[in-house]
Amino acid sequence: MAWTWRFEDAQGTETAPAVEPEEFTTQGDAESWIGEVWEKLLEGGAEKVALSDDNGTELYVMSLREAAEAS
């Protein structure tokens, strides 16, 4: 199974990420990657990220701005 991230700006429009994601074969790998690069993504204009599986099922949406405010 493949896992992919979608990146959105503050208006909810899909945007290109500041850090290009790799291919993830597990949900854990995808989540570890986002944990390592979320600050760079936020600095690059991504406000939200959404994780989907290879069936196109969106598992969740996460606000990078809220993550920054919590840390």
The answer, yes or no, to whether residue 71 has pLDDT greater than 90, is no
The answer, yes or no, to whether residue 67 has pLDDT greater than 80, is no
Mean pLDDT of 36-63: 96
pTM for the whole thing? 0.90
Helix or strand or coil: residue 43?
A: helix
Cα–Cα dist 2/70, whole Å = 29
pLDDT of residue 1: 84
Work out how many domains the chain is built from and give that number.
1
How wide is the angle at C-alpha 71 spanned by C-alphas 46 and 2, nearest 5°?
45
The answer, yes or no, to whether residue 34 has pLDDT greater than 80, is yes
Task: Determine the structural domain holding residue 61 and report its residue range.
Answer: 3-70
For residue 68, name the pLDDT band (cuts at 50, 70, 90): confident
